[in-house]
Structure formats: C-alpha cells, structure tokens
Structure 1
Amino acid sequence: MTPKRILVVDDEEMIVNLCWQALKNEGYDVVPASSGEEAVRLAFAEKFDMAITDMLMPGIDGLETFLTIREKQRELIGVLITGHGTLDTAIQAMTHGFSGFIRKPFTSLELIQGVKDAFQKAALAEENTRLKTLIPLYRLGEKFITSESKQEVFKGLIETIVHQIGVQRVSVMLYDEGEGCLRIVAATGIKEEIVNKVRIKPGEKIAGRVFQTGAALILNGGPEDNPNFASFLKSKNIVAAISFPLKARDKTLGVLNISKVGQGVPFSEADIEMLSVICGQAVMALENLRIMEERAEKVRMRTLFEQYVAPEVAEVLISQGKNPLEVGEIKEITVLFADIRNFTPLVQRLPLETLRDFLNDFFSLLTEVIFKFKGTLDKFMGDAVLAFFGSPISISKPEQAAVNSAIMMHNMFGELKEAWTAEKQVLSHVGLGIGISSGEMFLGNLGSQKRFDYTVIGTDVNLAQRLASEAASGEILITESVKSQLGQQFCVTQESSRLLKGLEKPICVFSITGEPQ
C-alpha cells in the first residue's frame, strides 16, 4: 500500500524536524517546506494527501498557503498549527477547509493523533458528501430505465452530467463496428460540424486510448497528468477533462468525454465516482433497449419464418443471429412438390369463396404433415405446395421423411376430398400428384430488405415440380437419387424413362406403390 504523503510547512526548523521524525516513524511519506512560497512550488509539482502548515509565517501565511494549494489539489486535507489556540482561530481554520487543529507546543503523540483524527474526519466528510450526492443519482435510474429510445438516454445522460458536475462540454461516443471507430452520437458545447466529422479508432488520441484500455483518464493540467496527453489541455483551451469508458459487463460500448473550458476547479476522484454511477445507469438503460429491440426483432423474425417452417426450424434460423438476407448456403436437400390434379376447371364451376375455403383446408392439411416430419414449407403456388427436408434442421433420412410425408398427404387428401365432395360433387374429380427429388441446391433467403423468401433453388427443385406435373392422381414419382436412399423401406416400381420439360436427356423415374414395409 502506498504511504500517505504529507507536506509539512513551518518557518521554525525545530517544528519541521519534529513533525518529519514523528510522522516518518508512523510510515508516512513526509516532505518539509520552510515557507508558504516553497510549499506552493512543491505542491504544484507533486501530489500530497495532507498539508500541515503553521498559521503565522513570513510572506504567505498558513491559511493562504493551504487555499492556494487546494485550488490545484481539491482533495488535499489540511491541519493547522498555531500558538494562538483560541476558539476564533479554530473556527477560522474549519471555515477555510482544515480538518484538524493542533496548538503549540505539542508532543509527537499529539501530532500523530491529530493527523489520524484529520484523516478520519476527512474520510467521514467525504463519505457523507458522497452519499448526499449519490442517493439522488440512484433515483435517476428510474428516468433512464423508462427511456424509449437511445437518443432519449443520451439526452438524459448529458443533462444530468451538466447539472451534477458543472461542465461546458460533453460528448457521448459509441463504437461503430461497421466503420471500426468511435463516433459522436450526442453532444453539447461542440459544433455540429465537429460532431459529424470526428472518427477515432481504438488506441488513437484520448478517447481511443480509454476505449481500448477500459480505464478512465483525468487531465487537470497538473503534475499528476499523463505526460502523453498533457498537451491536450494547452491546445484546446481546456482547463480540465475526463474521458470515461461506457462499459456493459466486460464489453466497452464507447466513451464519455467531459471538459471545463476557460476556468474551473480541477476534477477529483469524487467526480469519477459520480460519473461511474451516472454512466452505469445510462448503460443499463441502453442495454435494456437493446434487449427489447432484439426480442422484438426475434418475434418479428419468428412470425415471418413460422409462415414457412415448423416452430423448431424457425428457432434454429433465429438463433443463428445473422442478417436474414445473409442466411444461405449450398446443401444436400430433398424436395417435395405436391400439385392438385384437375383443379383448373373448378375455377369456372365454383364460387371463389368456396375455392378459397377448399384451398385453405388443403394447405392446412399439407402444412401439418410437412411439419410433422420436420420439413420446411417453402411456398404455396396457386394449387400446389413446395416443401423440403434435411435443412435447416438436420434429420438422418430426409428422403424417407419426404416419402412418408407424401404417403400421409395422399391419405389425408383422400379424407379431405371425401368430406368436401359431400357438399360439392364437382370436387370428386380432383386428385393429388406428388414429385420428389434430392440433390445439391441453394437454401437461404432471397429478395430485398423489404421482402424476401426463405427458399431453395436448384435443378432438383425443377425436377420435383416436373414430376408432380407428370404424376397421375394418387401417384408419387421420385428420382433415382431419392430411390437410392430408401433401401427396402418402401414398395418402389421403376417407371419408363421420361424426358421432362426443360431437360435435354430422359431421366429414370420411380414410383412409390405401397406403404412402408
């Protein structure tokens, strides 16, 4: 632990020596001065915790010496020595900020006790001041936490700092990950063109250094200033400045800069503590807003994705934490295309409201089946449905899942058709054809920021659609790539090779002719 530094000021050499020896033996770091002028010079070059000064000295007296030094070192504790120990003298000393009063002549023990009492009294006074200041500041948390936007938080932060600390310039800088630098997001006392222009990279200048290290920096124009940044005050007409990190847990979000221009008392550790409380509450409010925004975005994305995929699939996509338009990759996927046979004539023979209700029942049925087998609903296309299996949720046998879905779709479609035919006989002519293919294709989001679809693109998507068009009512047609992954689980019949629309060569086609064995 660093020993307390005490400056002893007296024109009597015997008094100085007595103080030096007694306090040195107690572990204090003692620096002697024989006059007020010498004490001021020392204090302007070095930092002290306490000044013990005689009341009456040639030149600058003890009161003026202490007050002059304290203008530079605001936290300096004072102990006054005097041979005129009257009540008026004691009151005068306390009025001028002294924490202790020792009457001559005194012993070493009286001196040591007086110094200890002064340190203790100063500590209690500082604690009381701190509590009186901090209690209202904690109440500011309610104001910050109810903020509905970042700018509202920044405005409250700046207003509070200006009021509580009394500064002319304040700037709030946040790290912009896109630009890789700190940018001013709110300020007072700074020209707008400067606010818009300033960009500081981590490690650069004062703000960049504070952002990089996560440690606050105080500049008061005194000997205690970091020599690397001392020139900052001289060049900017700034008499005192603090750069304070805005930290959320272990991450630094940005930097708060405050400064006094022209004139003003130096900043102290108490100011740092106050900034810590104010900034801590502001950062909590910012984090609260961030969490609420993330939750709202997740709800929006989940609502969007669940229109196309099962809830568990939507959760996987959302948990990736990517920009929706950046979600995409090349994958091995199995695609299913289901198309209603003989649907076109119905458009002319049934009211549009009836067609809508029938299609809604049809799509609800297919969606239920697709989700049951961990598939993803790509889109509804008029009287058809496109779905895929194997991604984004990985399943061990996507080809089997697709075929099982197709078989269940046919069974449930038969029940749906029977129910509707009882009311609309014309629906007895409709059927369902299904095509299934598998292969390498792109899976991801396509579109713009305003409108995009989570979909698949590839040759096998087209193959599945062509097979569905070729399939008769109640038929399930598959490609060779699908058949090769089914093993002996299904009754499979090889059909004649077919030249599908858009292809240059015929392909092998198979049909599913029975339930799983």
Structure 2
Amino acid sequence: MTRAQQIGVIIGLAIVAVLTLLRASDPQLLRLIRDVTFDEYQRVSPRSFEELPVRVIDIDEASLREFGQWPWPRDRLALLVDRLSEMGAAAIAFDILFAEPDRLSPRTVVGNVPGIDPSLLSQLPDNDEIFADSIADKPVVLGFGLTNEGTYRPSVKAGFAFTGESPVGAPPHINAATPLRPRLEANAAGIGHISLNPGSSSSVVRAVPLFLTDGEQLYPNLALEALRVAQGVSTYVLAGAPDAAGVMVSVKTGDFVVPVTAAGELWLYVSPDRAERYVSARHVLAEEGASAKVSAAINGSIVFIGTSAAGLQDIRVTALGENVPGVSLHAQTLEQILNGRYLSRPDWADGLEIFAIAVLGSLLVILTTFVSPAVALACGLAITALAVVASWLCFSYAGLLFDPLAPIISGSVTHFAATSFRILVIDRERREVRRAFGQYLSPSLLYRIEHTRDALRLGGDDRQLTVMFVDVRHFTEISERLPPTAVVGFLNTLLDALSRHVVANEGTLDKFIGDSIMAFWNAPVDVADHETKAVRAALAMRETLGELNAADAFGFGKDQPVGIGIGIHTGVACVGNMGAESRFNYSAVGDAVNVAARIESSCKDIGFDILISEDTARLQLGAALLEAGTIGLKGKSSRTRLFAVVGDERVMQSVEFAELRQLHHQLVEAFRSRSPDTRRIVSAIRLKTKMIAGLAEFYRRISRRADHFRDEPISEEARPAE
C-alpha cells in the first residue's frame, strides 16, 4: 500500500466516522429527510378507507350558513348531543374547547344590560346549564387544549394500571390546560386532550400523543378516551419497559391493544380524506329530523364533533399532503386503532442505520482506494437499490419504518470524497489550504500549514481561548424596515468596522453569523495577554460604533443609534478544522464558546453592552469593571459570575469611577445581606452614573429590582431567564 493510499484510507474512514457521528446525533435536517421519506411511502401506499363505526359531525360552511356564525349557543350543542344520543351514538367526542361561559346565553345577554333586576336573571335559561344537563349520563367526551398560563389540570375520568416499569414520565409534558366549565367537566363521561402534535416544529401531523403527563398524572387523548367511553371500560392498562422507567410500549383499553413509541405516541397511517367520513351538522339538526341514511351512519358509531370551516382555522396537514380538519385526524386515529393497521419504528432502527453507514462507508472507501472508482460506484448503486427495496418491503408488509436515505446519502458523500482525493494533486491541496486559511492567518503561518502533512485533516486541539460574540441589537426591526440591499449595506458597513478591531488586537475572526461576529484569541498561534486584548477590542468596537452613530453612517438618523452586545469568556475549547474533508472551516467549539454566547445574550437582560466572565476578568491587566450578576448554564450546578466593562485603564484610574466602584460594592453587599439601605445606595449610584456614560440603563434595571425585591442578591437580579 502506497503512502497516498494510506492517506486516502485514513481520510475516507475519518469521513465515515464523521458521518456516522452525525447520524448518531440525529440533527433536525436528517430527521426532516427521514420524515419526508416516510411521508412518500404513505403517499405511494396509503391506508385504505374502510367503513368503520367512526364519523365526524362536521360544523361545515353549509351548517354555518343555516344556523349562523360560530360560536353557536350551547343549547344548540345540547340539541346536537340529544339527537346523536337518540340515533344511538356509542360515544360523542367534542373537538371543541369550552373554556368560557356561553356569551349568547339569555341570562348572560340580559345580565349585561344596565338596570336589570337581578332576581329576574335566575328565571332566564342558561345555555351552559342546558348543555351540562344534556351531556349528563350520556357517553360524551369533552376536549381540552394546552396553555402556558395558569395551573389548571382537567379531571381524569379513567383509572390506570401498569405492567413493567412506570411509563408516567414518557409522554409529552403538560404545563397547564385550558379550563373547562365546572358543570361540563363534572357531567362529562370522559375528558381528553385535543393536541395533535404539541412541541413539533413541523406543520405535518405524523404522530399523535395518546397521553400527556405532568409527571404524576397521565391525561388521555380525545380519540383514545372516546374509545374507552364507547366500550364502557374504566381503566387503561399501560405496558412499560421491563427494565427502564419512563418508556411506554403499548396501551390497552377494553378489547384493543395499541403499540406506541417510547413517548406514548401513535404513528399515524392515514387514508385519503373521504366524504363518507363526514356528516354535516345541519343534517343532524334538521327540523324534520335526520334522514334514515344519517341515522344509520350514526347508530353504533363513535362520533367526533368538529369543524371543516376554513374561517375557524382548524386545518392540519397529513403525511399525504392533504389539508384536512383537525377533527378528521382524531377520527383517523380511532380508525387506525379499530382496524389494527399500525406503523412502528423499532428502538433498534437507529442503531441499524448507524451501523449500515459505518460498514457500507468503510467498504466504499476500500473499494475506491484499491479497486477503482467505477467498481465502487457500481457497488454503491447496488447497495442503494438494496436499501430502498428492503425499506419499502418492511413498510409494505410489516408497517416498519426504516430510513434508506441516511446510508445512501452518507455513502454518496463518502464515495465522492474518496474519488476526489484519488484524482487530486498536492498543488490542488495546497491551493485549498490557502483558500481556507488565507483570510485569517499570517503569510508565515500559512506557509507552514501548506507544507505540513495532514494540514487538511479534520479535528482540533484543546486550547485556552478567549472567545467573543458580538450581536446587533434590534436587527430584526432594522431589517423589516429596510429593503434587502440596504440591509446588506448596513451589515457590511458595521461588521467591517467592528471586525477590524479583532485583527488589530491579534484575534482570529471565526465567522459572521448574520448580524453577529464570533472571534477568539490564542489560536491558531499563542497570543500573550489574550484576555486583555479581547477586552481592548470590545472597547474599541464601542468607541467605533459611537463614532458611526454620531456621523449617521447608517442613514437612520442621529436619533436612532445602532446598539450592540458583546460577551467575552475565557476557557478551554476545541479549535481546529471542522466540517468535511471537501469543505471545512477553522473554528472553535466547546463549553467556552457556549458560555461566551450566553454572556452576549445576557447583555439584553442586564442592560449593558459589554459583559465578561469572571475567568476573563480575573486576568485583566487594566479595565474598569463592575460586578453585573450571574447566569446559570445548563448541565452545571454553579453559576457564572459576570462583570460589566465600563471603560479602559484611564476610566479605571479616574476619581469618578473609584467613587462609583465603592458605592457599587456597597450595593452588592446590601443585596447579599438583605440590607434596607439598598434603595438609598441605588439612588446615590444613579447620581454617579451621569458622570460615566452607558450605565444609566444598567442601574435603572437594578433600581427596578431594588424597588420590588430589595431582599434579593444582585446576582439574582442579573440572572437571565433560562
């Protein structure tokens, strides 16, 4: 094996390792590709529609034209329940929220008229009472939604039994629910949540949570609760994993056992939207009574009451790409349970796909290096065809979901990279090195890298860095009021002026992220006093921005200055070439980078433009600093102490700052000791802030906290929201 082949194998296997780790981390993009693949499978072979005892009572456009706009008075809904019950509905489930009193109730309408005798109101009918009386002793299931306000939890009408370890912690979490009217809640036979995809960023509903949890109690889904009520059973039997808590395997209600994901979700296997699934509400409410056809459709069926009216905005997207009423998906969930056709993605599917990427990628690297790219391509195409066929057969015959695209894409990337390396020459490699590093390294260092073996390898080294993040304040508002070309011009002017100070202070420009700058010091070469130089660069940025605003360089007007926030932290990070062999960036990742980014975001909450961590402040050789509070970091029990950079060494040595620092120290101690002098000290400090620009907002926010929470430490005052 030649050295070139050795290098080719090493690089190829490194790419395979990166792709394997990427798949193991399962980023959002790969999940989206996988979901779209499974959507296409359903579009090719959707679940066939069958005549099952499930119907949707549709408050459609025709019903609204006949009976008036939504919301309908609840005495009409009571009539709807009575009619459905008379027709023999096995269960009646409302995909409608009843959180507020009926504003159309005669008692409510008359009660809002000034001067009405209160004694007369009790003689008027109340629609909520009529509706509550109607659903009493009937198989009616009411729905509730999710909210982030309040602490209300709905009643749970069913009991729970567990096999295996407790799965209570498995489903999506519920913070609070939309409250039901008390009498409606008391008289309902069942209560279920109507959330179809809580927490999902996708508009497509692919899986429905059959339960929600608050950590102690489970709350069933509307469709599942309707099935329980229709069967007249009182308990759900939930199977958990035999050796792991917080994992759900299946749900049994009456005669039906439903396999679910570990989080208690049911993969939806949808059928095309069909008119036979729906019965218009106007046919049920017709004065002459429902037709024999409608009565036959309702008799013995579980019915869901909802709306397809476009104006009521309860339209969802299915895996088939159809826009359907949300109530239709509740009906389809129940249909799927009744006919027993399920989709599942086994727990070991991820492991199989990761293993396939590692093994097939390694095989392609060896074939490309030692045989020929053409043979490797033929093998790759054969593997691709095999993966697609195997995945499709598993879906068609067993309802199993295996992703064929992740191994295919990874294999394609690996083959392309290995083939490209085989035909590249050293000069080409050197040009790539110069292109990648020439923007932010000195010519002498660049020459050393060009003539160093493995210069293009992926990976990095742990180094002590000082990391800086800079972000433009209110950039969204700025971009919304400017045309795109003006936004680009604004960013070019600002970022060019600010980034010059990074280079001038021996820093490394990592990247521009929209309206943000990431930079670091002490890599790729050692930089003495890098903590101090990073702070000097931040102070220079502040001064430059002030000059640009004073000159109205952005054309916004001098009364609309541009602001920035700067966060700096010193710590260990991994710095090096990151990405793929064919395309990479010299960058830094790790805890120090995350902390610096969090500090920058804290500038908004604390009300100051330059904040540094205690690790950076400890090594400063000359800067005017004031303690600014702490922030909490995920995964760490201790909090990170912050300091505001007021000015340079000249400011630090000034009499004004010395007096301010003494008062600020007293303020810190007052907060920590819960002293009643807090407000007095804040008032004294605010007089001093007039002498040093930029501190007014900082102390204004502390003052507000002192007014309301004088007993809290200042570190708590400055704590940003998690």
Smaller-chain TM-score bracket: 0.3 to 0.5
Which one has a bigger Cα radius of gyration? Answer: 1
